[in-house]
Chain A
C-alpha cells in the first residue's frame, strides 16, 4: 500500500474551486484549484507522478496527472481537450467548481534517485506529467548530478510550459535541448524528432535515470537511443496512460497484462514495461 494511497479521497469526490485558468498551447489549459474545504486541502498530499480523477459536473470524470511539485507549487492540472469531459472542463471559468478524487498511483521515484544524473525526455504534452518531478528535482538541485531536459514537439507552438522552462533554466546546470519536427520561421533551434537529440546531448549513462514521456512512436524511438547510449532498462522510467474509469484498481479499464496502471502505475521502469506482456 502506498503511503499516500490510504489517505486518498477514494469514492466520493471532494469539491474544489478553480482559482485561475491559464491558456497554455492550443487546446491545452492549466487550471489552478483549491479545495472548498480547507481541511481537505490540508490533508491532500501528493507525490510527484501521481494523478487524480477530476469530475466536471454534468459531464463526467477523467484521469489527469498532477503536474505540480509536492512541495511548493499551487495545485493545478494541465488538460488538453480531446472529448466530452475535457471539453466541458475547458468551458469552466475561475470560480467554477469541480470534483476531485485521489491522489492515486505510485508516483515517480525521488529519494531513490538522489545523487544521480537525471534526464527528462518529453514529446508534446508528455511534459505535463514530468513537470512535477522536474520542479521537485530542481528544488533539490544539489542532491543531483547532471539534470537534462530533452523536449520536442511537432511545431514550436505545441511546446508546453515554455515560460516555465525559462524560469527553470535559471537553476544552475539545468541543461535543455529543444527540437521541432520541421523547420519553421522564427525557430532557430534544432529540427528533427526528439530521439535525435539523445546522441548530441551526450547523455550520462552511469548513475543516471531517464524519465521518458510522450506518444508511443516517440517513446519507442527514444528508448532505442537511450539503450544505444548504454542506459539499462531499469534506469528508464516512464508514466503510462490508459483509459481509466475508477482510479482505484477496480474497473479494469487500465489493465495491461498483469498490471493495473492506476494502482501499480502509472510510473513504470522500462524493464517492467517490457514484461507486461502487451503492447503499450
Chain B
C-alpha cells in the first residue's frame, strides 16, 4: 500500500491507501474519488482519467509515451505536467504523491 492524495479541482483532498502494481486511476476509482471517469477502463483510449502532477513528481515519473501524449493533447485543461492516471503504476516510490484532478474530463 502506498499513500496517495487526490485533490479535487475545488480543493477537497482525498487520502487513499493505493494498492501497489495497480494504476493510479484504479486507486481513485476503487476508493470512490470523484472526478475520474475512466471510460475506457484503463487502456489509454479515452483520456477521461486526466490528472495534473506537480513538477517534481512529474519529472520523477518520466514523460508520457507517444500514445499517451496523443490522447492527452486535446484534453481541455492540459498542462505541461498532465498525465493519464491509468498509465501510472503505483509503487513504493510514489509514497506521499499529490495528484490534482482537473475540473472537467474530456
Interaction A to B: no
